Chains A and B, each alone.
Chain A
Amino acid sequence: MELSAREDTNRRMLRARDEMDRRYAEPLDVPTLAAIAHLSASQFGRVFKEVYGETPHRYLQRRRVERAMTLLRQTDRPITDVAWDVGFASLGTFSRTFSNIVGCSPSEFRAQHPPIAVPSCFIAAWTRPRTSATSPAGTVVSEKQEEVGAE
């Protein structure tokens, strides 16, 4: 298969994004993701943003918040557990990130959203919050281990 340089980059970035989609709850660091994309850690954040329009950190946050939204909507799990389940080490960071992206607190969201029954991959894709232009892009990709990303 002949891919242009740009298509090849896209494909490698998609693999890195798929890894975030799969392992969102685990500590993920930039060197690991960059290796999947066959890029240096310093290039990775910039190239990912070129392809997907946001930093890997921001994408992972939205992925985690989307999972949290589903758990809040579909289950009764305590919010602290939800925060941990989706990859946040502290309730404070989770609540702040959630509110920043969704526009309300996790408990407000839960109160306003009853469970829905459609295939979960669609809930995942279609309810994932869009990135907010007002929030600064962070540099920490892994919440649980507080590893610092290189962007």
Chain B
Amino acid sequence: MTDNHISSLHIRSVPVLDQDEALDFYTTHLGFEVRDDIDMGFMRWLTVGVPGQDTSILLELVGGPQHDEDTAAQVRELVTKGALGGLFLISTDVHATYAALRDAGVEITQEPVTQPYGTDFGIRDPFGNQIRINQFNTASPDEVQEAYEGSTA
């Protein structure tokens, strides 16, 4: 294996259409903390993350000079159609997370489902990005495989 010295995933960009609204959603509903909120003049560098976790999410406004107007419009269109984005989060109590988000009026795309690997459910952020929240069970990969195959019995 080539050693290219890469050691971790640091920041992942999520396309958003309004940074204030994104900030409110990701902190209020998902409990993310603000890592950076810097007005760089030409852009607002806004990153958030799960407390205690290294990886950050860049809440990146769609548009700006790197996209021409048509491209920006196309990206916005794809975001609002639900065709972009996608975060996978882990909860220590998936049913509690689900109840809190549902009660807060967050858009639920799927109620909690028991899977061979755990229990997960789906939501959307205000712009249409899909977010899955999962609680892994203690099953080993072999047991997960067995659960998939065992359901045929």
Alpha-carbon gap, A48 to B21, bound state (A) = 26
CB contacts under 8 Å to A, within B64-95, are: 73, 76-77, 80-82
Interface of B is mostly: mixed
Interface string of B99-130 (1 = CB under 8 A from A): 00000000111110101110010101011100
Chain A residues near B9 (CB-CB < 8 A) = none
Contact between chains at A120 and B77 (CB < 8 Å) = no
Kindly state whether residue A136 has any CB partner on chain B within 8 Å: no
Alpha-carbon gap, A42 to B145, bound state (A) = 47
- The total of Cβ contacts below 8 Å across the A-B interface reads 70
How many A residues touch B, CB cutoff 8 Å?
A: 27
Kindly state whether residue A128 has any CB partner on chain B within 8 Å: no
CB contacts under 8 Å to B, within A1-53, are: 1-4, 6-8, 10-11, 13-15, 17-18, 21-22, 51-52
Q: List the B residue with the shortest CB-CB distance to A74.
A: B151
Q: List the A residue with the shortest CB-CB distance to B152.
A: A76
Residues of A participating in the B interface, judged by any CB pair closer than 8 Å: 1-4, 6-8, 10-11, 13-15, 17-18, 21-22, 51-52, 74-76, 115-117, 119-121
